[in-house]
A = this chain, B = another copy of it.
Amino acid sequence: MSLVIVGSLAFDTIETPEERKEKIVGGSCTYCSLAASFFTIPKIVGVVGEDFPQETIDLFKKRRIDIQGLEFAEGKTFHWEGLYGRDPNQRTTVKLELNVFADFKPQLLASYRGAEFVFLANIHPELQEDIRVQFTNPEWMAMDTITHWIENNRDTLLHVLKRCHLFFCNDEEIKLLTDEINLLKAGKKILEMGPAYVVIKKGEHGALMLGEDFVFGVLAHPCEEVVDPTGAGDSFAGGFLGYLDSVKKVDKLELRKAAVFGSVMASFAIEDFGIERFKSLTLPEVKNRFSEFKKLTTF
């Protein structure tokens, strides 16, 4: 099996009510691949500038992430600045500097094209489409997006969505995309748009996964201190797809477990700023939290 993750590698400047962090490493591809690396050997597709820290490249290598598809370009790494309110679900983008990402037009390595699992993390839908068509015949083409593309590039987004098997979104995004406030109805609308499954991430309220004749609810790990919510969604996708890539046969039970591992990885991501928590995280800790989720919901 193999999993290719396409997305951003970035510097994030993050301000929460408690603290401000300048230019720490982030990006959808970064979070997702680190989370997935606890289950499989993810291949990544993305671009970094000359200022991207060697320390993070070393971390990727240490976590056995395949970085052959990572492009090193002249110039500066993508930079995002965001501000969180007292409610960690409320986020404002303060600044966005595309930098090397502006000219990013990846040609996939031959060894990447046959991937069975693909995750098109949040990037411009046109870029998602350019990359999507380079894969030969993935069993699971998954994608994510943000409200910005739903508002400004809806047609292209719907084109990609139609050709995906799995859509990751949050409650705000799905409501905007479907014009439906009820998540069950909204999810069903997404299924009519193409994907076989949709995972609706609801922050502290967990996630809801829908398919044909399939509904599964997973809680978020109860957490007293959300230090930095950045990357929770991408870590969820990483845990989800990384786990699926590691099993022999994807069935309904494995999909349920994947959603729980998604929630597990998201719960670690928010415990510290940026990717900090993933640096010390161990597989026993991951498995232990999976067991905690069982305890949390079993009756």
Contacts and interface: CB of A to CB of B under 8 A. Distances in A.
Contacts of A183: 204, 222
**How many copies of the shown chain assemble into the complex?**
2
A205 interface: yes
Interface in A225-271: 225-226, 253, 256-257, 259-260
Interface string A181-208: 1111100100000000000001011101
Contacts of A208: 222
Nearest to A182: B224
A202 B224 CA distance: 17
A96 interface: no
Interface in A145-171: none
A202 B208 CA distance: 15
A184 B223 contact: yes
A294 B299 CA distance: 8
A297 interface: yes
Contact of A181 (B86, B185, B253): B86
A257 B222 contact: no
| Range, interface on chain A | 20 to 34
Nearest to A256: B299
Interface stretch (A65-73, A212-220, A278-286): A212-220
A296 interface: yes
A259 B204 contact: no
A204 B185 CA distance: 13
**Binding site secondary structure of chain A:** mixed
A188 B223 CA distance: 12
A85 to B, nearest CB: 10
A296 B217 CA distance: 6
A226 B180 CA distance: 13
Contact of A215 (B226, B294, B296): B296
A298 interface: yes
A204 to B, nearest CB: 7
A55 interface: no
Given A188-B224, A215-B222, A217-B296, 16 more contacts: A86-B181, A182-B223, A184-B223, A185-B224, A206-B217, A206-B219, A216-B299, A217-B219, A217-B222, A253-B299, A256-B298, A256-B299, A260-B299, A293-B299, A294-B299, A297-B297
17 contacts: A182-B224, A182-B225, A182-B226, A183-B204, A184-B222, A206-B217, A216-B297, A217-B296, A217-B297, A218-B297, A219-B219, A256-B298, A256-B299, A257-B299, A259-B299, A293-B299, A297-B297
